[in-house]
Amino acid sequence: MPIRTINAADAWADVQRGGAGLIDVREPGEFATVRAPRAVNLPLSNFEERVSELPANATVYVLCASGSRAMAAAKILSDSSRTGVVVEGGMSDWQQRGLPIERGSRRVWSMDRQVRLVAGALVLSGVLLGWLVNPRFYILSGFVGAGLLFSGLTDFCGMARILARCPWNR
């Protein structure tokens, strides 16, 4: 069964009417920075273990930063006979549409930005170390490039899973 999607404005209108719940699957640090009102944080990193906390007969709108983690969570919901509808464009689209948000005092970078920073630092380190120390360090850059390629093809990012467990994202 295909995963359903909804635009942010329609999702917010339905949540306000009490027609559905809103689940945010970003990591706690991201959620603490900016979030949609009435959203409940169930991070994707432990979503599968906590899916039983959601009512079996209710529709929930699933929200993340841009949509890919929400899609993964909706698949988990579908596999457990629950209904999850992905909010298209995630919090990025939510904010661009001018929908209400709540801001916390905490400022954590989005998971996408953290992955780009770490991947860039590893690639640059591999190139510099390969040039200055030993050509074998080029393998590091190749490994990161292969990981990014795999992530792009499968929509699974191992680096994001690792970063999600870091203290600043909890």
From 11, 34, 64, 157, the catalytic residue: 64
CB 108 within 8 A of CB 32: yes
166 catalytically annotated: no
Smallest Cα–Cα separation from 35: which of 3, 7, 12? 12
Both tokens assigned to 40: 């409940």
Angle at 62 between CA 56 and CA 63, to 5 degrees: 160
**Distance from C-alpha of 110 to C-alpha of 88, rounded to nearest angstrom:** 17
- List, by residue number, the catalytic residues: 64
